[in-house]
Structure 1
Amino acid sequence: MIANPFLRDEIAFDLFRGLQGIGAAANVPTAIGLLGSLFPPGKAKNYAFSTYAAGAPLGSIFGNLLGGIIASYASWKWVFGVNAALAIAVTAAGVFLIPPPLQKETTEKEFKSLVGSVDWFGGIVITSAILALLFGLTEGNVVGWSTVWIYLLIVISLLLIGIFVAWQWYQETHTSRPPLMKVSLFKNKLFSVAMVIMAIFFATFNDFLIYATYFYQDFQDIGPLQTTLRFLPTGITGIIVAFIVSRLISKVPTYMMLMLGNFAVALACLLFAIPIPADTSYFAYGLIAMILSVVGADITWPCLTLFVSESVPREDQAIGGALINACGQVGRAIGLAITTAVQTAVMAQARGTPVEKSGKVEPWDTPSLLGMRAAQWLNFTLALLGVGIVGLAFRGTGIVGKVVQEPGRTGGEEGVMNEERVGKE
């Protein structure tokens, strides 16, 4: 982030932005792994996961607010400078606050062995697959969906994903080398469903925030600061909801919590999809939608992350955290690509132009409004799909945050114990 403001080349800028993504991808599973390993099942673990879960939407909201203030009163370069300072602060906090046993120094020999054990081939294959898929989905809006290589690229990406899964299975079952992803974890059907729900939820929640931003900043043309101020209630609500969820998660059946979370986001998307006059006061429906969105996020995220933590053995906590984070991030990226395609197609039809010439969102422009509403209708549909999947798969699974003491089970058996408990209640 420190280097970005000084780069003159777009490719170099994108590469360093990619490093930011690597940092986030490393932080989230590590944090979930630490929480899952350090906290035994109980109230403390419920509070830890609920508090951590509140950080995702709150960080997004306050980050947008901070970015809007900087963009309004200073150069865009300061956005990266402030973020770099925050990253340094987080790094220092990790060095001084993480318990000493987890900060064991690694020798040069151990480091080389660790680097050598990394599944570089698997990492390259899955990264190439996701990049190809996202590039194909996004470029379809640019070059037109009649272009043959768009579909060829999507097919290649799906083949690469298949190769990656087969390679991970081979490493886990036929070698002693640790795979990037334990395919055996997906034998637990509820674990697999949790991954799907996370992908759908983040596709919906992220798209809602993005298109709400488009609506206020680009369509209503009120500027970045006024736009971010409209997101401020979500931060306040997020703190309150996180506190409430930390208590309810040990008392209310998990499927009910998850259905409520997904349904809240569905309603938020619906308020921006239905034909409410665009000049209607923010307090009439925008405020309600913002509050509903963060209610959904602060319920769904802790329930899913805690469920995953309880479903895997202690030694696989970091892998479980990595998978749930990866599913959320991939779902968010693919969801945005698909939603953008729908928005662009509707705008192009309304303007009577090909998709590749549909143009951008214009202030108080009817085709722009129709495109954004179509995107929110898709988000609403995805959220309802999440509600349906939860109702079918999670009904009768019990309460994930409920503590059941079973003597004689410790260490790595806790994950199995909790998985059995969650399935039986």
Structure 2
Amino acid sequence: MRNRQGAGTGPGAGLTLAAVAVVQFMVSLDLSVVNVGLPEIAAGLGFGAVGLTWVIHAYALTFGGLLLLGGKAADRYGRRRVLLGGLALFGLASLAGGFAQQPGHLVAARAAQGIGAAALAPAALALLTATFPAGKARVRAFGVWSAMNAAGGALGVLAGGLLTEYAGWRWVMFVNVPMAVCALALAWRGVPATPPTARGGRPDVLGAVLATAGTTLLVFGVVRTDRYAWTSPVTLTTLAVAALLLAAFVRVERTTSREPLLRPGLLANRSVAGANAYNLLVGAAMAAAFYFVSLYVQRVLGTGPALTGVMFLPFALGVVVGSVLAVRLGYRVPPRGLLVAGALLTATGFAWFGLISPDGSFATDVLGPSVVASVGFGLCLGPVVSVATAGVAPRETGTASGLLTSSRQIGASLGLAALGTVADHRTGATATRQTLNDGYALGLTLSAALLTAAALIALTALRPTRPPAPGKTPDPTAALTGSAAE
């Protein structure tokens, strides 16, 4: 049932899709569910202002820094095995975080969540790619994946607000446990224990250490610009060391006698490189925009956490609508066209957000741009995954999946830190409603600029595809498979 016409049509494929959907929803939700509850977490555990940021960064750093290693592990040790192990760790870490009694306990639990997510996210995406290799089933599968990805991120804000206000902040951690158990059951029952796709050769441990350390240090250096200026010796030294580590990683990957963590030729693939550059900018823009809009609604409009979460519902629904449109249009519109249209539509929504006013309201300043930006975001989620993984050799699908998720997460961390610094500079020392509004507006306008740049990358890095022959149902990934080999 893996031929071109009937790929991914059996009952096992349905269980695999269900497991991957739950996994992606859970991972995406965990990126945003704690944001609204941060003030309550600080009060409950006694976090200081600087220490509280590590509730976010501990997850982001381990998740983004270890994704390449997680993708390689999925290829080498088997996708099912890595997926189950990652789910078990993620669920246990969530449970431990909910019972945290000190700031260090929660930060450690968030870091462990990131490690689990770095293992299970690329394994799940590689399973999806292998289970649905072509045809309509692939388009539908990636549509479901993108909808769950977006819904988890958007609904995380809603869930975080409601849980914090009505159940207590600990439930923003506990909520992951039943989802992890459900995904474990689905994966255990429905995902076959296929042999690893990459065999032979010794693992490139040095490359893994260099890549993880360099990526983590790069994110750390930019994140800490809230305390140390960009031109300070601390920031410059941190970024310089990160650059040296990443340069050493590239050299090791080119010269190692072991199996490289990331084969250099993979990034020479035009589709893979273009999709990851696109994804990096989209991740940067989306993370920053979520942050600014959430703070605008709470600090400028004076809305409580639960109602703030409710206000993000139109965004979540819009992303689902955009994902469904991407599936329907995927039979007729080349993926490059969907990527360009999605980025430009989202950029339009963020530029509209840039007009926010301190005397505004949800109806006039939030609802309209939320709908426009969310539909555009939904349009590009599925196609970028399909572009980044189509045509990649089976032994490297886990690596390619990890690279794509890593580019998104690293982009999110870098974008939030960089645009947050710019917005704070605009706000100045006196944080009034007007100055806060001005800072958030600038950050949202810059997010629109990042998405415009992403659209330009899609136009220049990805080749256009020919229209399908009359009377023939197109495979939206067929042209990508051809171009990916070039």
Q: TM-score range by the shorter chain?
A: 0.7 to 0.9
Q: Does 1:277 align with 2:357?
A: yes
Q: Does 1:319 align with 2:404?
A: no
**The 10-residue stretch of structure 1 (303-312 or 196-205) with the greater mean CA deviation from structure 2:** 303-312
1:356 maps to none
Q: Does 1:403 align with 2:454?
A: no
- How far apart, in 1, do the equivalents of 2:215 and 2:271 lie? 24
Q: Does 1:23 align with 2:116?
A: yes
- How far apart, in 2, do the equivalents of 1:393 and 1:57 lie? 25
1:341 maps to 421
Which residue of 260, 266, 275 maps to 1:185?
266
Which residue of 59, 63, 68 maps to 2:156?
63
2:367 maps to 287
Are residues 129 and 11 of structure 1, via their aligned partners in 2, closer, same or farther at CA, if it must alter by over 3 Å?
farther
Residue identity in the other structure for 1:337 = A
Alpha-carbon deviations, 1:144-201, whole Å to 9, x = none?
3442121111111111111112212223xxx2x3322121111222321111001001
Residue identity in the other structure for 1:22 = I
Alpha-carbon deviations, 1:248-289, whole Å to 9, x = none?
112102222111111122112112212x43333322341122
Q: Does 1:377 align with 2:445?
A: yes
- How far apart, in 2, do the equivalents of 1:231 and 1:313 lie? 39
2:482 maps to 420
Residue identity in the other structure for 2:482 = E
Residue identity in the other structure for 1:403 = D
Alpha-carbon deviations, 1:4-46, whole Å to 9, x = none?
1333333332122011112222222112211211123100011
Which residue of 153, 173, 176 maps to 1:83?
176
Matched-pair contact (CA < 8 Å) for 1:250–1:399 = no
1:43 maps to 136
Matched-pair contact (CA < 8 Å) for 1:398–1:422 = no
**The 10-residue stretch of structure 1 (390-399 or 211-220) with the greater mean CA deviation from structure 2:** 390-399
Shift of 1:418: 5.0
Q: Does 1:92 align with 2:172?
A: no
Q: Does 1:259 align with 2:352?
A: no
Which residue of 432, 435, 442 maps to 1:367?
435
Structure 2 residue runs without a partner (length 5+): 1-93
2:241 maps to 156
> Structure 1 length normalisation: TM-score?
0.84
RMSD, aligned α-carbons: 2.6
Q: Does 1:223 align with 2:304?
A: yes
SS of the residue 1:344 aligns to: helix
Matched-pair contact (CA < 8 Å) for 2:165–2:305 = yes
Residue identity in the other structure for 2:274 = V
Number of matched pairs: 387
Which residue of 263, 284, 302 maps to 1:203?
284
Which gives a bigger RCO, structure 1 or 2 (Cα 8 Å, sep 6+)?
Answer: 1
Residue identity in the other structure for 1:316 = E
Are residues 226 and 374 of structure 1, via their aligned partners in 2, closer, same or farther at CA, if it must alter by over 3 Å?
same
- How far apart, in 2, do the equivalents of 1:148 and 1:55 lie? 42
Residue identity in the other structure for 1:323 = L
- How far apart, in 2, do the equivalents of 1:418 and 1:150 lie? 40
- How far apart, in 1, do the equivalents of 2:314 and 2:235 lie? 41
**The 10-residue stretch of structure 1 (369-378 or 392-401) with the greater mean CA deviation from structure 2:** 392-401
Percent same amino acid among aligned pairs? Answer: 24
Are residues 399 and 183 of structure 1, via their aligned partners in 2, closer, same or farther at CA, if it must alter by over 3 Å?
farther
> Structure 2 length normalisation: TM-score?
0.74
SS of the residue 1:311 aligns to: coil
Shift of 1:398: 4.7
2:226 maps to 141
Residue identity in the other structure for 1:195 = N
Shift of 1:306: 0.6
Higher alpha-carbon Rg: 1
Shift of 1:422: 6.9
Matched-pair contact (CA < 8 Å) for 2:300–2:358 = no
Shift of 1:202: 1.1
Residue identity in the other structure for 2:336 = Y
Alpha-carbon deviations, 1:206-257, whole Å to 9, x = none?
2111211111122222111111111111222233332221121121022221
1:411 maps to none
Matched-pair contact (CA < 8 Å) for 2:325–2:379 = no
Are residues 399 and 324 of structure 1, via their aligned partners in 2, closer, same or farther at CA, if it must alter by over 3 Å?
farther
- How far apart, in 2, do the equivalents of 1:253 and 1:418 lie? 9
Matched-pair contact (CA < 8 Å) for 1:204–1:265 = no
Shift of 1:397: 4.0
